[in-house]
Amino acid sequence: MFARLRLWARGIKKDVIALSIATRDPRTPWIAKAVAMAVVAYALSPIDLIPDFIPVIGYLDDLIIVPLGIMLAIRLIPPDLMAEFRQAAATGGRLPTHWAGAAVIIGLWIVGLLVVMWWAFNRFVRR
């Protein structure tokens, strides 16, 4: 069971690298690039949308959201291009390191916090 899980995790890592390559290739359709950029940024972000310390749902993004995003991005990329990107990822692709994903997640948290504060102000203070 652990061997299958390890193979699955390696496959996801290679697909994230392949999607990273796809985001920089001009032959990739723009919608596929947008989805791939979002998935790669989120997968590589050091900050999760749902923090891991929250029991059970903290790991949902890692176990469900990221693989579903990867599958969607792969379906949007033509199969021959995706095969080329996977080959490039297998022969020497590395995971890029950048903080764009963290910035997006932090922005979402800030917007969410502002919405909750606005709601609480209107609900409890303004009456």
Give the pLDDT of residue 101. 64
Query: For every one of its 127 residues, what pLDDT tens digit does the chain have, with 9 covering 90 and above?
Result: 777 767 776 777 788 889 888 988 999 999 999 998 888 877 777 666 677 677 777 777 777 888 888 999 999 999 999 999 999 888 876 665 566 666 777 788 789 889 999 999 998 887 6
Q: Could you give the C-alpha distances from 40 to 5, 23, 55, 58, 116, in angstroms and in order?
A: 21, 9, 25, 19, 28
Domain count, the chain: 1
Task: Provide the domain limits for residue 33.
Answer: 2-125
In contact, 22 and 78? CB cutoff 8 Å: no
- What was the pLDDT predicted at 92? 76
- What is the model's pTM? 0.65
What pLDDT is attached to residue 102?
A: 67
